[in-house]
Amino acid sequence: MFNSLKGIFWKNLRRSHIYGVSLLGRKIPHISLSTNDPWQGNAKFGEALLLGDLRLDNRRFTSTDLLLALEKPQSVYEPIAAYMQSFMFLSDLSAISGNAGRKRARQLIEHWIRLHHSWAHKSWNSYAWKPGVVGLRLSVWLSLYDFYASTADEDFKRLLTTSFDKQLRYLRRHWMEEKDPLHQFWALKGVILGESLRAEKKNVDRFERYMNRLSTLIQEQILPDGGHISRSPLLHWRFLRDLIDIRTSIRSHLRASTQVENAETNLQECIQKMTPLLRFLRHGDGALASFEGALSPFAQGLCIGVTADAVDSVLTLTDAKTTRPPQRAPDSGYERCASRNSVVLVNTFPGVSANLNFPYSADAYREPGLELLGIEWSFGRHRFIHKGDVVIQLGPTSESESDFKDNWVTNLDPQLLQLVIKRHNKEGHNYIAFDAEYICESTSFYWQRHIYLSPKGEELRGHDTFRISHDATVGVRFEMNPLFAIEGEGEKIYLTLQPDTKIRQGKKNEKAYERLHIKPQEKSKQRKIVEPERWFFRSIGCDDVITTLADEENRTLLLMKQCEAHRSYTLKWSFSQTNGVNDV
């Protein structure tokens, strides 16, 4: 009762600009602010921050835009606002060699503190002081303290320590106010990391209460198959990394006790459960699948620049028993088909039994198209199909042409969807058959998709059969690797992937040249010659094949078919490696 009244008091006081006075007080004692952050940032994004030319989602952000994200985050693109306000960019700056990244980090931290710590400004209900944002920011500042503050002057360190105290006090009062379970998890992570560095003995008593709530939040967000409830590969990676951070913090900074041991054991069990699914969601290039799931713009900003190395780092630090990725993730709604050199991932939607209730929806910012049975395909270390889905546009329901333009089939209700999946593997030949039937008041359709993957992965075949209750235009769409050059038209199209040609250099290679009796003056002319990979795409049953080159990052193949109501139509397609041969 007392805690509830106290929470209401602080919540009401926060509406006043004098709330900042309540955050002043005795300095919170810390054991040590020296920490070891194991996560490697993205140097490419760090250099872009220094140059003031950051690009994301085909948008360009200058230094002015990035500073605006720190000052008025509501007025900028939300992923960038989340990226800057959470200070996730510090990890990217730390990946840059030299002192430039360190100096820029101190400048931006000091700028934020002086802007948002003034008690005269009524900003305590602003974006910058949302508990989830504060928890993320405090976690990053504590983890990367050695990077940006170890060589700083005493004035900066005093300013920083005062900010630590204020943000930790603020979080202890308000972390429970976050309604979104994921944001409350991030707020609580900041509290736990901050408390674990305190020297006071009473933090152990608080710790038990925090860990009990953390356990509840984790259970709410991990599905029975180990996937994150958002179904987003990026959020799955992010959540697993956060669990490792919490485990490392309590392991390193809290005295051994029964409560600490139990908390560490529970965290390790969750990490062990989620690790196979992270392997499941990887492609041959080591990076994660591109399925969005319920990835909100805010969460997208926390996962900017995730590379294969970042995924490797998480897998290395899980301390989980080595396990092969499963073939199925029925609760998360994905199927995996792998051969010697190839990986195919299919989005099947979670089963009705999963009963997922997302705290937010991503439908508002998706393009028209069915995510159901969408595929991604990689061969070797190349991502060939970034996104393979189906678009269905129903015929006009009236004489108005505008009805037809907006009549896309999207947002399928899983409660109205029946999906049957059959798998078969014989001597390395992989077959998956999907039968989907969707019936609602105004529309019903039947869709059968069969996929075949050869033992070495050099051939991917599929056929799609549709039967729709309305006249419709159906498109089977493949968003390809932008490195592909597309040649030809109609049913026969060639895809050429030209690899980079690199000059051999280095001491080890010099010895190799000597063994080959290459004269020194000829060394610079020697190149490792790699033949371009050539693939053949063939389709049968479509009315037209459209190839689009929207920009440097998009290559799309679109198989179009006009369908009459209640009639079945089949489109067949295949990708196969030609090895330079022009006919298949």
**Average model confidence (pLDDT) across the chain:** 81
Residue 21 falls within a domain, yes or no? no
Q: Which residue has the higher pLDDT, 392 or 108?
A: 108
Average pLDDT over residues 185-195: 92
Give yes or no: residues 551 and 411 share one domain: yes
Average pLDDT over residues 95-120: 88
Residue 202 falls within a domain, yes or no? yes
pLDDT of residue 150: 86
Question: Locate tokens 């630590």: which residue?
Answer: 164
pLDDT of residue 16: 66
Q: What is the DSSP string of 348-373?
A: ----GGG----SS--GGGPPSSEEEE
pLDDT tens readout for residues 208-238: 888 889 999 999 999 999 999 999 999 999 9
pLDDT of residue 209: 86
Residue 283 falls within a domain, yes or no? yes
Give yes or no: residues 80 and 205 share one domain: no
Give yes or no: residues 342 and 302 share one domain: no
Tell which of 126, 144, 177 closes a domain. Answer: 177
Give yes or no: residues 315 and 187 share one domain: yes
Tell which of 285, 306, 326 closes a domain. Answer: 326
Give yes or no: residues 471 and 411 share one domain: yes
Q: List the alpha helices (DSSP H) in 52-125.
A: 63-71, 78-85, 89-94, 100-116
Q: Which residue has the higher pLDDT, 377 or 165?
A: 377
Tell which of 124, 148, 177 closes a domain. Answer: 177
Q: Quick one: what percent of the chain has pLDDT higher than 70?
A: 75
Dihedral angle over CA of 349, 355, 360, 365, nearest 10: 20
Using N-to-C axis directions, what is the helix angle for 181-196 and 203-221, rounded to 10°? 150
The domain containing residue 200 runs over which residues? 178-326
For residue 510, give the 3-state DSSP assignment: helix
Give yes or no: residues 53 and 173 share one domain: yes
Residue 246 falls within a domain, yes or no? yes
Q: What gap in Å lies between CA 373 and CA 348, rounded to an integer?
A: 5
User: How many CB atoms within 10 Å of residue 350?
Assistant: 21
Q: Which residue has the higher pLDDT, 408 or 109?
A: 109
Give yes or no: residues 386 and 304 share one domain: no
Is the confidence at residue 519, as pLDDT, over 50?
no
User: How many CB atoms within 10 Å of residue 199?
Assistant: 11
Q: Which residue has the higher pLDDT, 268 or 22?
A: 268
Give yes or no: residues 243 and 386 share one domain: no
Residue 268 falls within a domain, yes or no? yes
Residue 29 falls within a domain, yes or no? no
Q: Model-level pTM?
A: 0.87
313-317, 476-480, 523-527, 532-536: segment of lowest average pLDDT: 523-527
Is the confidence at residue 541, as pLDDT, over 60?
yes
Q: What gap in Å lies between CA 408 and CA 415, rounded to an integer?
A: 19
Q: How confident is the model at residue 27 (pLDDT cuts 50, 70, 90)?
A: low
Give yes or no: residues 320 and 458 share one domain: no
pLDDT of residue 445: 87
Give yes or no: residues 265 and 290 share one domain: yes
Give yes or no: residues 414 and 556 share one domain: yes
pLDDT of residue 361: 43
**Domains held by the chain: number:** 3
Average pLDDT over residues 493-506: 59
Dihedral angle over CA of 100, 102, 103, 104, nearest 10: 80
Residue 583 falls within a domain, yes or no? no
pLDDT of residue 18: 65
Query: Tokens at residue 136, please?
Result: 């993320």
Is the confidence at residue 120, as pLDDT, over 80?
no
Give yes or no: residues 183 and 172 share one domain: no
Residue 200 falls within a domain, yes or no? yes
